[in-house]
Amino acid sequence: MFKRSCAFIICADGAWAKSFHTVLAELGFGQIEHIHDTKSINVVPFARPLQFCFLTHTSPRHEIQTAIRTVRQHKHERHRFSPMILLARDLSRQQIHDYVAMGLDDILQFPCSLKFMDARLKRQISKPLKYYETEDYFGPDRRRSQDELPQQGEQRKGQSDYRRYLIQRDPFKGSHILDVYDHEAHATPVDQVG
Which tens digit of pLDDT belongs to each residue from 107-137? 999 899 999 999 999 999 989 999 999 988 9
Set out the domains of the chain in order of their start, with CATH numbers.
5-192 (3.40.50.2300)
Select from 36, 33, 106 the least CA-distant residue to 67.
36
Question: 44-102: per-residue pLDDT in tens?
Answer: 666 778 889 999 988 889 999 999 998 888 877 778 899 999 999 989 999 999 999 99
pTM metric for this prediction: 0.84
CA 105 to CA 142: how far, in whole Å? Answer: 9
For 161-182, what is each residue's pLDDT tens digit? 899 999 999 988 889 999 999 9
| Burial of 161 per CB tally in 10 Å (0-12, 13-18, 19+) | middle
Q: Are strands 106-109 and 84-88 parallel, antiparallel or unpaired?
A: parallel
Q: Which of 137, 19, 27, 121 is CA-nearest to residue 72?
A: 137
pLDDT at 58: 87
